[in-house]
Amino acid sequence: MAAMATTKLIHVESMQTAVPTRVTGAGRTLPIAVSAPPLTAAALQRRFRAVLYYRGAAGVEQQVVAEAEERAAWVKESLSAALADHPEMTGRLRLQRSDVDGGASTWEVRLNDNGVRLVLASVDMPMAAFLEAKDLERKEAALALWTDVDVHEPEFCAPFFVQLTRFQDGGYAIGACCSLLLADPLSLVDFLKAWACTHAEMQARSKAAGGGAPPVIQYTRYLQTPGAATRRLRSVPLDACSAASIMTVLFRADAAAAQVDRRALAAACVDRALEKLGSSAGKPPRLTVLAAEGSGGMTVHACDGDGETTAAAAAAALSRGHALRAAYWHEVGLGEIALDGSEPVHASCSVVSPCADEGLVVVMTPAGGGELLISATVPNQ
């Protein structure tokens, strides 16, 4: 009983959807080219997770809750506005089954304006204590909750979640969890930056107009009933949401490296990652490479992880001048995403993959071109 009493919980208070403020992507699709073997249920759960922590105004509990309610309304409104300019973030994964070519199936992202799943939650502890926890990485998975994509009916599952979590001391966290088939980490960070700008602009316009909240937020207050903020859909232990133990290493490479055989490039990245991490487990038996295409689509290439041909090709690729240079997540600007006039006091991110026996390589090209950013994720054994 004593152990149960000390277990820290996260309380999911609301599950909503932020949809674009105008029709944007109806009818459009983005292709996902998948090499053999077909995507499995576990492969559909590969995702990127980012968590940003912000200080809030300290005060009595009622004041903190009231501020959190208004912040939640602002977040939903600004998300909806930002999504109108980024329809690629509002779609759903869809499996197209064909009656020709032997019944082959293809994947795509259908831009149907279904929106982003918005989770509102709370934690029964101060943010300062949460950040000081020794097992922070394990606990913060609860700050960016995820619902698995159904391999049979993926179009009914959201591939992008945004979560607003409030702490007892008024601090709050913004968690984002996005399928790697919808957007790579660099694209997700770019969207979060655009959303933060939209958020600031909307609040500035509201302040210039007299400081009152927009009608939608006023309406939300009007409908608010006593005790609504304490209603809970479910409560789960903070440390019950972690995924498989994996490690990710980042590299930069010149743009010409994108022309190298993807399998060779992936093998080179995984080799370097294992070397940097000091892993003695050897190369994973499988490698998967994800890369965005210029058309906005995605390619997924799977291959054997260990083979003399791949190793030789990797060495040859690096010898042609496509050197891999060390990179770090803070370079993508997560720590600069300001909300309510303040930058985060802490920012963290990770690639999540339930495929514990594979090496996962994501090749990312900045929106304006330039050096590639490559993540190599390997099992932490």
Q: Where in the chain are the domains?
A: 2-30+41-244+328-354
Q: Of 224 and 132, which is predicted with more confidence? A: 132
Better pLDDT: 165 or 63: 165
Residue-wise pLDDT tens digits, 144-168? 999 999 999 999 999 999 999 999 9
Check pLDDT > 80 for residue 143. yes
Given a cut of 70, is residue 210 above it in pLDDT?
no
Q: Is the pLDDT of residue 308 over 60?
A: no
pLDDT tens string 11-48: 999 999 999 998 876 778 999 999 877 889 999 999 99
Q: Which of the residue ranges 50-59, 72-81, 86-95, 161-170 would you say has the lowest mean pLDDT?
A: 50-59
Residue 227's pLDDT band, with cuts at 50, 70 and 90, is very low
Say which DSSP state 134 is in: T
Instruction: Say which range, 65-79, 108-122, 214-228, 292-306, has the weakest mean pLDDT.
Output: 214-228
Please provide the CATH number assigned to the domain covering 2-30+41-244+328-354. 3.30.559.10
pLDDT at site 321: 47
Burial (Cβ within 10 Å: 0-12, 13-18, ≥19) of residue 256? exposed
* CB-CB neighbours of 269 under 10 Å: 28
Which of 230, 300, 344, 352 has its CA nearest to residue 36? 300
